């Protein structure tokens, strides 16, 4: 039986789907993809049983449903830029890489090169950060609720105090990033690299961390209640001190 390996199959869907549908808008697929992620990222859908489609029939049905969604959005004339973000703020960011407290709600920054950008306190709710380069960027206290930094480069970025509730962060590079005090409640971080990351007081309640690399990460005072840690790498090298584990127990092994 053909088997799709979790939500990683999303990477191959755009090409398949766009071959079947005319690209009326450069952002039509982006809207559909994020709507799909928003639905599939809800807790009831993140269990292993529902994350694996085990038959070809189920895969065909899923692809058909997604194609229908794309077609609907294209025919309806919906574009990613329909969001509430400020065009002036977007241009300011692209030209100067400095945009603290900017309104980038729903902005499409897919593939953008923004290393070292200053986005302190910016609103990036539901923004598309697919493959975006934000290495070394400052995103402290930024709002990234339901954003999509999938495959993004956030190495060394400052995300302290950031709101990443229900964000989709699969396979992203967060090596040496500062996520102290960040809220990642119900976020999806499968296969993300958190090597050396500062995760002190980070809230991972209900988050999905399957396959995440936690080598030398600092999880002091972090909360991982109901967090999925299946296949997590190098947890034994992480600092666990007053860390709330998935079963609500407190781990002080690294104090």
What digits encode the pLDDT tens for the residues 143-194? 999 999 999 999 999 999 999 999 999 999 999 999 999 999 999 999 999 9
- pLDDT value of position 86: 76
> Is pLDDT at 98 greater than 50 in this prediction?
yes
What CATH number does the domain containing 217 carry? Answer: 2.160.20.80
Phi and psi, residue 188, nearest 5°: -115, 110
Q: Does residue 144 sit within a domain?
A: yes
Domain identity same for 195 and 177: yes
Give me the phi and psi of 240, to 5 degrees please: -115, 110
Let me know: does 211 contact 190? Beta carbons within 8 Å.
Answer: yes
**21 vs 103, higher pLDDT:** 103
pLDDT band at 3 (very low <50, low <70, confident <90, very high): very low
The predicted structure's pLDDT at residue 37: 47
**CB-CB contact of 189 with 7 (8 Å):** no
- Residue 14, pLDDT > 90, answer no
Poorest-confidence range of 9-18, 34-43, 201-210?
Answer: 9-18
| HEC string for the chain | CCCCCHHHHHHHHHHHHHHHCCCCCCCHHHHHHHHHHHHHCCHHHCCHHHHCCCCHHHHHHHHHHHHHHHHHHHHCCCCHHHCCCCHHHHHHHHHHCECCCCECCCCECCCCECCCCECCCCECCCCECCCCECCCCECCCCECCCCECCCCECCCCECCCCECCCCECCCCECCCCECCCCECCCCECCCCECCCCECCCCECCCCECCCCECCCCECCCCECCCCECCCCECHHHCECCCEECCCCCEECCCC
Residues 107 and 50 in one domain: no
Higher confidence at residue 208 or residue 22? 208
Contact 119, 137 (CB under 8 A): yes
Confidence category of residue 9, pLDDT binned at 50, 70, 90: very low
User: Do 60 and 95 reside in the same domain of the chain?
Assistant: no
**Model confidence at 121, in pLDDT bands (50, 70, 90)?**
very high
Domain assignment present for residue 1? The answer is no
What pLDDT is recorded for position 88?
Answer: 86
In a shared domain, residues 43 and 166:
no
pLDDT greater at residue 59 or residue 18: 59
Q: Is residue 96 predicted with pLDDT exceeding 70?
A: yes
Q: Same structural domain for residues 34 and 156?
A: no
- pLDDT higher than threshold 80 for residue 83: no
Domain that holds residue 26: 6-80
Rounded mean pLDDT, 121-140: 96
177, two tokens: 């990033």
Cα separation, 185 vs 92, in Å, equals 30
**Is pLDDT above 70 for 250?**
yes
> Quick one: 46 and 99 in the same domain?
no
219 vs 40 pLDDT, higher one: 219
- Which of 40, 55, 80 delimits the end of a domain? 80
From 110, 66, 70, select the one nearest 90 (Cα to Cα).
110
Residues 133 and 230 in one domain: yes
Q: How large is the average pLDDT for residues 80-107?
A: 82
Tens digit of pLDDT for each residue in 33-68?
Answer: 444 444 444 443 444 333 443 344 455 455 555 554
Residue 227 scores a pLDDT above 80: yes
Counting the structural domains of the chain, the total is: 2
What average pLDDT score do residues 203-231 get?
Answer: 96
The answer to whether the beta carbons of residues 190 and 213 sit under 8 Å apart is no
* pLDDT over 50 (residue 201): yes
Residue-level pLDDT at 87: 84
């Amino acid at each position: 039986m053909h088997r799709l390996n979790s939500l990683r199959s999303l990477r191959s869907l755009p090409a398949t789907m766009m071959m079947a549908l005319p690209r009326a808008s450069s952002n039509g697929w982006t809207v559909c993809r994020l709507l799909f992620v928003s639905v599939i990222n809800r807790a009831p859908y993140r269990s292993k049983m529902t994350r694996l489609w085990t038959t070809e029939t189920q895969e065909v049905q899923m692809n058909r449903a997604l194609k229908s969604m794309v077609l609907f959005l294209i025919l309806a004339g919906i574009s990613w830029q329909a969001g509430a973000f400020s065009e002036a703020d977007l241009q300011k960011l692209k030209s100067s890489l400095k945009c603290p407290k900017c309104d980038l709600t729903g902005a499409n920054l897919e593939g953008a090169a923004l290393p070292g950008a200053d986005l302190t306190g910016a609103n990036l709710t539901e923004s598309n950060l697919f493959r975006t380069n934000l290495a070394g960027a400052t995103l402290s206290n930024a709002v990234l609720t339901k954003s999509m930094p999938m495959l993004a480069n956030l190495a060394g970025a400052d995300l302290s105090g950031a709101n990443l509730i229900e964000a989709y962060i699969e396979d992203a590079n967060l090596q040496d990033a500062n996520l102290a005090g960040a809220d990642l409640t119900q976020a999806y971080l499968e296969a993300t690299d958190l090597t050396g990351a500062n995760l002190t007081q980070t809230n991972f309640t209900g988050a999905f961390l399957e396959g995440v690399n936690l080598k030398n990460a600092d999880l002091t005072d972090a909360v991982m209640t109901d967090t999925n840690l299946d296949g997590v790498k190098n947890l034994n090298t992480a600092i666990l001190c007053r860390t709330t584990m998935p079963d609500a127990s407190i781990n002080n092994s690294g104090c």
